Structure 1
Amino acid sequence: MNSSFTSPPSLIPSSSPADRLGFGAMQLPGRWAGPVVERATAVAVARRAVELGARHIDTAAFYFSATERANDILREALRPYPADVTIATKVGPLRTATGEMYAEARPEQIRGLVEENLRQLGVDVLDLVYLRVGRLKAVGGVPIGERFAALAALREEGLVRRLGVSNVSAEQLAEARAIAPVAAVQNRFGVLDQADAALVDECAAAGIAYLPFFALGGGHTALADENLRKVAERHGATAHQIALAWGLARSPAIIQIPGTSSLAHLEENMAAARIALDEDDMALLEPVTG
């Protein structure tokens, strides 16, 4: 890894769906009050994700359970990290030791959070760091310039290679881009929740990667839409696989980062890159807004 201050090439690897299907580490440690994930299982899942072709791993220091941290698991599983794998992390939300998100980091706290990720992951430079805005809900209309500038300053120091923003509006993205280059946006978007469609297209036009969260229907009780079921049956696939394939087909800027702590679910998710949706499939799914 080098610490060049110049803007790296676009994070978008190619138009190939297989190159744009990554892995989210949020579930690796288990949830604070949920079932425990055995360390050996979590390590095996992370390693298998890379073996299956995941070249973008999404994590955060605030992804932890009562017993495990996502960054610690990734460090054990993947370090030394393959040169062609991007490890992306996020800073912003603050969590108590018992798991509650209680505040957002102030500008002067950003450095400490970045350094925490460096230590946990065992690297000298972070590939990509997002400023995550808000906690669980988007908060458009809130200025982010001071916080993003604090993160951008760490890029100038060589601690961060690329910058991203998460859970933002178009106006907040523009505010960040006026300060420093933005390589990636991570917002809520999926076949059941297409409200961010205009921002997806804006990112594609600007060469900015767009990484959806809740692409598999998070916040919904199930991916139970009838049109989604029809497309899944047509391809002999699951609704989750079609949701992933839809995002990959929807925009060349989209990198999917589904998360799981199950090897079986991982295999299912990664197989979605082989599903080619045609115009009829996409037309059937386009009106689905949740």
Structure 2
Amino acid sequence: MTSETITADAAGTWKLGDLTVNRIGLGAMRLTGSAAFHHGTPSDRERSIAVLRRAVELGVNHIDTAAFYFSALRSANELINSALSPYADDLVVVTKVGPYRDYSGEWGTSARPDELRGHVEENLRQLGRDHLDVVNLRRMRQDSIAEHFGALAELREAGLIRHLGISGVEARHLAEAQAIAPVVCVQNRFGLDHRDPDTDDLLRLCGEQDVAFVPFYAVAGEAGPQGATTAHDDELLAVARAHGVSPAQVRIAWTLHQGPHVLSIPGTGNPDHLAENVAAGAVRLTEEELATLNGLQLKAG
């Protein structure tokens, strides 16, 4: 399979509210460098901008970002603004609020509900937008998200936000949010080697309610923000060889096979990896291969 010839529409589409996106998107965190949340090596700015522009050329119209995605000298939102503004009408930029970092990069406690407007406005300034397409509320261990989500719902009514999502939640939080305002997507950690019954249940509920389920770290495994896992079982490698693709592409394909409402937002600052990630949307796994992968208990490290 030649990655360069495959575009993001190979995976099909889904709607975030009234916004149609290809099911393969791009996570922006890794655009900022080797340590997006620390004082690591900053990315090469021109290379990151080239990745964003190439992503759009390959049909990616769903980019996931946040104001707290920054490293020394690099901001994901600023890179997106520089690379893609003025924005194409069909480009959907999704951001998130809840966690935050100060200018030195240190994490603060979870934002209070009355602070969320300022965080939304910071995203607007950095992205150069007058409204945000989708804003996810990242739950920070709160038992209830009603007050925080309600604050975002008010900003939606005010026209600063078009659609709302939630992240890091349990099934009960989806119901809690839906009682306040429509939810178009749920972002939770989920992947071939990071599954639990609660998340499987949430994935099913999202499908039943036509809510997009958007896993993060689906390729990274236990490595999380550090990068794609290097732990691959023999069965996974065999599936990859059968399709002439990489193990990471199989992981993305497996994720997309979990339901038509499941989106993928693999992150990379590497143009070659970008093309491979997009091409994973064309991988069609057989029922036998899916059964084999579903039975794996992959271990990182």
Fold similarity call, TM over 0.5: yes
Aligned position for 2:219? 216
- Choose from 273, 280, 286 the match for 2:288: 280
**1:115-165 CA distances to partner (integer Å, 9 max, x unpaired)?**
00011101111000000112xxxx3x6111100000110000011000000
Residue 7 of structure 2: aligned partner: none
**1:255 & 1:237 partners in 2: Cα distance?**
20
> What code does the residue aligned with 1:106 have?
R
Name the % identity: 48
Partner of 2:272: 264
Q: CA RMSD in A?
A: 1.7
What's the secondary structure of 2:156's corresponding residue? helix
- The aligned amino acid for 1:176 is A
Q: How does 1:88-127 map to 2 (within 5 A)?
A: 88-127=94-133
| Native 8 Å contact 2:29 2:267 kept in 1 | yes
Residue deviations 1:247-273 (CA, integer Å, cap 9, x gap): 111111111000011111111111111
Question: What SS does the corresponding residue of 1:250 show, helix, strand or coil?
Answer: coil
Residue number in structure 1 paired with 2:164: 163
Unaligned segments of structure 1, at least 5 residues: 1-7, 14-18
5 Å matches for 1:21-60? Answer: 21-30=24-33, 31=35, 32-60=38-66
Cα drift, residue 10 of structure 1: 5.2
After superposition, the C-alpha distances for 1:230-256 in whole angstroms (9 at most, x for unaligned) are: 211111111100000111111111110
After superposition, the C-alpha distances for 1:176-223 in whole angstroms (9 at most, x for unaligned) are: 111110001010011111221221111011010111001103424534
For 1:11 and 1:213, the matched residues in 2 are separated by: 20
Contact 2:156/2:163 (<8 A) preserved? yes
Consecutive unaligned residues of structure 2, counting only runs of 5 or more, are: 1-15, 224-228
Deviating 4+ runs (over 6 angstroms)? none
Shift of 1:94: 1.6
CA-CA distance at 1:35 after TM superposition? 2.1
| TM-score normalised over the length of structure 2 | 0.87
User: 1:170-249, aligned counterparts within 5 Å?
Assistant: 170-195=171-196, 196-220=199-223, 221-249=229-257
Measured in 1, the distance between the counterparts of 2:174 and 2:283 equals: 32
SS in 1 for 2:281: helix
Deviations 1:19-64 (CA, angstroms, capped at 9, x unpaired): 2000010011112332221111110001111111111100000000
Quick one: distance in 2 between partners of 1:188 and 1:12?
A: 23
Q: Is the 1:12–1:253 Cα contact (8 Å) retained in structure 2? A: no
TM-score (norm 1): 0.90
- The answer (yes or no) to whether the contact 1:128–1:162 under 8 Å persists in 2 is yes
Which amino acid counterpart does residue 284 of structure 1 have in structure 2? T
What is the aligned residue count? 274
